[in-house]
Structure 1
Amino acid sequence: MTPFSRITGTGSFLPPRRVTNDDLARELAQRGIETSDQWIVERTGIRARHFAAPDVTSSDLALEASTRALEAAGRQASEVDLIVVATSTPDMVFPSSAAILQHKLGIAGCPAFDVQAVCSGFVYALTVADALIKTGSARCALVVGAEVFSRILDFDDRTTCVLFGDGAGAVVLEASDEPGILASDLHADGKHVGILCVPGQVSGGKVLGTPLLHMDGQAVFKLAVRVLEDAARNTLAKAGKTEADIDWLIPHQANIRIMEGTAKKLKVPLEKLVVTVHDHGNTSAASIPLALDESVRSGKVKKGDTVMLEGVGGGFTWGAVLLTL
């Protein structure tokens, strides 16, 4: 019998340094850039974000989140037989942050690799881990989203530098006799690469291009609402479910207007929308597992609830996962 996969534990971690909109406005003013708490909140819903210290890497954040997820699942690191890390800000060009995380966990031997789908990364990673469990290639997977986006922000561009933060979220995904991951739907369209990207690369010991984030906010907004609705509806259809079956909607925490717009299109009441963007900012691949862990630990999302996860990011990538916790 083909096993199902089910989330048995969640964990998350935010760097200690919390930067409010007022804090950021003061820092930007020193660069001659004007912004304010009101300006940021009205456009994004963001009130604060967390920035990692200069010597802290994505795998450091991932280790903290992973340790908490393993504890919640009642598992030891030695029981993990697959590690998938979603990140766009890896520790180094190679090896993968997943391999580095594996070593920091004190284990060896199991497959470990990164998934690069930017803000859709966790949805992609969870789908890959689910597939490997269903084929019998793994039984206890650690699936992580971890980012230090503060390293790639252009602090001379107030339209983007106010949006992002650092953090990590993780889940333990295990083989189960009961359905957990019900369905998923993944997509990408490379023709939109220019609207959200970091157009730089390392060559000959130098950085070619621009190693800072570039985004066309209006273009991203228009595309995001449409594709998130499509992915969610496709996923529901695959699972034989309807919008009424969704207990909680946990979208990528990018912008409150995108999130609320998607909920309305899916006819999901706003009280069923999990929102953490106000305190985390956009943490890219970490945003969904961060929001999931916070809602589980607060008691909002409970065992047996049906949850829709959905993300959209540079590439352009997008996707959704429907699961029963």
Structure 2
Amino acid sequence: MRYAAITGWGMHVPERVLTNNDLEEMVATSDDWIVSRTGIRERRLAAPHETATSMAVAAAKQACDRAGIAPQAIELIVVGTFTADQQMPSIACEVHRELGAARAAAFDVNAACTSFMYALIAATQFVRTGMYSTVLVVGVDINSRFIDYTDRGTCVLFGDGAGAVVLQASEEPAGLLSSVLGADGSAGHVLTLGDPEQLAHLNGVSEMPRPYMKMNGSEVFRFAVRIMGDAAAEAIEQAGLTYQDIDALVPHQANMRIIDAAARRIALPREKVWVNVERYGNTSSASVPICLVEAEREGFIRDGMNVVVVAFGGGLTWASGVLRWGPGSVVRERIA
């Protein structure tokens, strides 16, 4: 059987830090209020010159270096995002150009905060079926460009960032051992960005209001608490494993209470759960890959470990899987 091992990884976060104390000067909130409800203490915000593309490229270069591959070896680039710099070309094509990945096909995936997981699962299928042997997957979002900083229900939650992984074909079990995708379009209205009027043809109007993220926080919370745990449990069962076989949980970093609920659902102690939400907030599509990079760097995840990854997002969408961390036995030639 053919697998899609993660052989390289990288991340980028902006230098600017927005703390809870900073937000106290901007909106009716407090550090205690934010921390008690979310676990977040600070988040990173992109500088005016930074773009989703520039952050994606920075993370992608690190991932390629870690994998020991040249951009010319990449056969497919998949970028998960919902805050693209423009409608077209896609960020994947912009990354293609900046890296000089001349051989690669390229496309974006938009599943809100679940975008990276959707992209990772799709890319894994391309490798497992033999269509490609080397794939770059990126998750990136600049949430700060679409946040109303007078709305404390959203402005305290989100930050900016990018993360990337390289997948390579392996003859040994590595990468995703299982994958779960789901959606509930009937509940899409509880988390939105932009409405049809804002995004429609301008019809001679020179200025339109900036589209902002809007969220029914209580509805999203109830959904997330349930679906994160259920999706994680389903991925473990699909992989033919038990809860006792799981070495670590790397969840989407939306809210500490949601993370805790997911861990309880699969009976995983807190010390086996990777958390960085206090430093970055919710970086949306970048959340899971940034976690993987930091967790590996700190020795929290190591070769051979079974790692559950899970995310949810607008749509509503969700995705999960069990990763066997490590390079496996990489197949160097392309199998068409």
TM bucket (normalised to shorter chain) is: over 0.9
> What SS does the corresponding residue of 2:114 show, helix, strand or coil?
helix
- Give the letter aligned to residue 286 of structure 2: A
1:200-236 alpha-carbon deviations (Å, 9 max, x no partner):
3433246778610011111111111211222112211
- Give the letter aligned to residue 5 of structure 1: A
In structure 1, the partner of 2:200 is 203
For the Cα contact (< 8 Å) 2:114–2:313, is it kept in 1?
A: yes
| CA distance 1:242–1:305, shift in 2 (3 Å) | same
| TM-score, L = length of structure 1 | 0.95
- Give the letter aligned to residue 153 of structure 1: I
1:11-56 alpha-carbon deviations (Å, 9 max, x no partner):
1110111111112222x1xxxx321111111110000100001221
In structure 2, the partner of 1:70 is 64
- Give the letter aligned to residue 215 of structure 2: M
Inter-partner Cα distance in structure 2 for 1:283 and 1:82: 24
In structure 2, the partner of 1:146 is 140
- Give the letter aligned to residue 139 of structure 1: S
In structure 2, the partner of 1:135 is 129
For the Cα contact (< 8 Å) 1:87–1:114, is it kept in 2?
A: yes
Inter-partner Cα distance in structure 2 for 1:223 and 1:230: 11
| CA distance 1:173–1:251, shift in 2 (3 Å) | same
> What SS does the corresponding residue of 1:290 show, helix, strand or coil?
helix
- Give the letter aligned to residue 272 of structure 2: K
Q: How does 1:1-325 map to 2 (within 5 A)?
A: 2-26=1-25, 28=26, 33-180=27-174, 181-200=176-195, 201-205=198-202, 211-325=211-325
For the Cα contact (< 8 Å) 2:114–2:319, is it kept in 1?
A: yes
- Give the letter aligned to residue 315 of structure 1: G
Inter-partner Cα distance in structure 1 for 2:34 and 2:226: 24
> What SS does the corresponding residue of 2:199 show, helix, strand or coil?
strand
CA deviation after TM superposition for structure 1 residue 107, in Å: 2.1
For the Cα contact (< 8 Å) 2:111–2:317, is it kept in 1?
A: yes
Unaligned runs of 5+ in 1: none
Inter-partner Cα distance in structure 1 for 2:295 and 2:70: 23
Inter-partner Cα distance in structure 2 for 1:209 and 1:188: 29
- Give the letter aligned to residue 22 of structure 2: D
In structure 1, the partner of 2:332 is none
> What SS does the corresponding residue of 1:309 show, helix, strand or coil?
strand
For the Cα contact (< 8 Å) 2:55–2:140, is it kept in 1?
A: yes
Inter-partner Cα distance in structure 1 for 2:264 and 2:209: 39
In structure 1, the partner of 2:334 is none
Inter-partner Cα distance in structure 1 for 2:12 and 2:228: 26
- Percent identity at matched positions? 45
> What SS does the corresponding residue of 1:169 show, helix, strand or coil?
strand
Inter-partner Cα distance in structure 2 for 1:263 and 1:67: 32
- Give the letter aligned to residue 308 of structure 2: M
> What SS does the corresponding residue of 2:230 show, helix, strand or coil?
helix
For the Cα contact (< 8 Å) 1:198–1:210, is it kept in 2?
A: no
- Give the letter aligned to residue 232 of structure 2: A
> What SS does the corresponding residue of 2:102 show, helix, strand or coil?
coil
For the Cα contact (< 8 Å) 1:196–1:213, is it kept in 2?
A: yes
CA deviation after TM superposition for structure 1 residue 284, in Å: 0.4
Moved more, 225-234 or 309-318: 225-234
Inter-partner Cα distance in structure 1 for 2:220 and 2:185: 13
For the Cα contact (< 8 Å) 1:145–1:285, is it kept in 2?
A: yes
| TM-score, L = length of structure 2 | 0.92
Inter-partner Cα distance in structure 2 for 1:322 and 1:140: 20
Unaligned runs of 5+ in 2: 326-336
Measured on the aligned residues, the alpha-carbon RMSD in Å equals 1.3
Aligned residues: 319
Moved more, 270-279 or 232-241: 232-241
1:139-193 alpha-carbon deviations (Å, 9 max, x no partner):
1111110010000001110111110000000101110011121000000010111
